[in-house]
Homo-oligomer: A and B are copies of this chain.
Amino acid sequence: MADINYDELFEVLAEFYEHMMPFNKLIGIKMETLTLETAVVKIAMKDELVGNSHKHILHGGVIAAALDFTGGVIAQLSVIKKMKHATPEELTKRLTRMGTIDMRVDYIRPGKGEYFTVTGELLRLGNKVAVVRSVFHNDDESLIAAGTGTYLVG
């Protein structure tokens, strides 16, 4: 059986993440990078994402959502990497069953900036759970927030 066509897969996945997940669309999640090795998410500041209108800083909920989502994508990449001989159906089934079990977010600095990037690194990948640490930076490359999430795998 032919192995997975990753270029195609990541194109489909990016499309799904940006357009088929309504809340991602609402807050403007964009996949800046999506490869077998890494995922980088980008979010542009916009008025509706502001927490406190006096200070024009991002609402903590947007930050938490982006950290959770990015961690989840990185957990999915690690599963995709592992299942390199799976059929598209097996892979889809597996990815669909994944979900966040718990997450910690640390808010480090106020969310000021025109755009923000979120990425992360896999800490643990087992048969049942993955643990990912994710980081949220602004366009000055200041660390705005960091998170650690535990994700159900398969």
Per the 8 Å Cβ criterion, residues 32-86 of A in contact with B are 47-54, 59-62, 64-66, 68-69
- Please determine whether A124 and B152 come into contact, CB atoms closer than 8 angstroms: no
Give the interface size bracket for A toward B: 35 or more
- Please determine whether A102 and B102 come into contact, CB atoms closer than 8 angstroms: yes
Q: Kindly supply a per-residue 1/0 record for chain A positions 79-106, scoring 1 wherever the CB is within 8 Å of any chain B CB and 0 otherwise.
A: 0000000000000000010011111111
- Please determine whether B59 and A61 come into contact, CB atoms closer than 8 angstroms: no
- Please determine whether A146 and B129 come into contact, CB atoms closer than 8 angstroms: no
Contact (A66, B61) CB under 8 Å given A107-B102, A129-B101: yes
Closest chain B CB from A101 CB (angstroms): 6
Would you call A23 an interface residue if the criterion is a C-beta within 8 Å of the partner chain's C-beta atoms?
A: yes
Would you call A13 an interface residue if the criterion is a C-beta within 8 Å of the partner chain's C-beta atoms?
A: no
- Please determine whether A103 and B105 come into contact, CB atoms closer than 8 angstroms: yes
**Chain A interface (Cβ < 8 Å from any Cβ of B):** 20-27, 47-54, 59-62, 64-66, 68-69, 96, 99-109, 123-124, 126, 128-129, 131, 133, 143, 146, 148, 150, 152, 154
